[in-house]
């Protein structure tokens, strides 16, 4: 997932489950500012905090292997 795809995914899932940004911040244990920056696609966010949010939706980001070309 690129930064925008993560942002779009989080926003879509938040709305699907009827959560406000405040709800999402509270349930995931991150700050409201972090949720706003995540949904805006900010590129310099901490991966551990991104995973805290994504964990609510059964997802996570991390290193993946890439097949040699």
* Residue 14 counted as domain residue: yes
68, part of any domain: no
For residue 15, being part of any structural domain is answered with: yes
- Whether residue 22 lies inside any domain: the answer is yes
How far are the Cα atoms of 55, 65, 66, 68, 69 from residue 9, in angstroms, in the given order? Answer: 12, 22, 23, 28, 29
Domain of 18, CATH number, reads 1.10.260.40
Into how many domains does the chain fold? 1
Assess if residue 27 is contained within a domain. yes
In a domain, 64, yes or no: no
* Domain boundaries, position 39: 3-55
58 in the Ramachandran plot: left (φ > 0), alpha (ψ -120 to 50) or beta? left
pLDDT in tens, 32-59: 999 999 999 999 999 999 999 999 999 9
pLDDT value for 4:
74
Per-residue pLDDT band at 63 (split at 50, 70, 90): confident
- Percent share of the chain, pLDDT over 90: 81
């Amino acid at each position: 997932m690129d930064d925008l795809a993560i942002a779009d995914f989080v926003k879509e899932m938040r709305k699907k489950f009827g959560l406000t940004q405040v709800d999402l911040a509270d349930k995931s244990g991150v700050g409201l500012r972090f949720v706003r920056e995540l949904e805006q696609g900010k590129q310099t966010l901490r991966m551990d905090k991104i995973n805290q949010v994504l964990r609510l939706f059964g997802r996570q980001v991390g290193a993946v292997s890439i097949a040699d070309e």
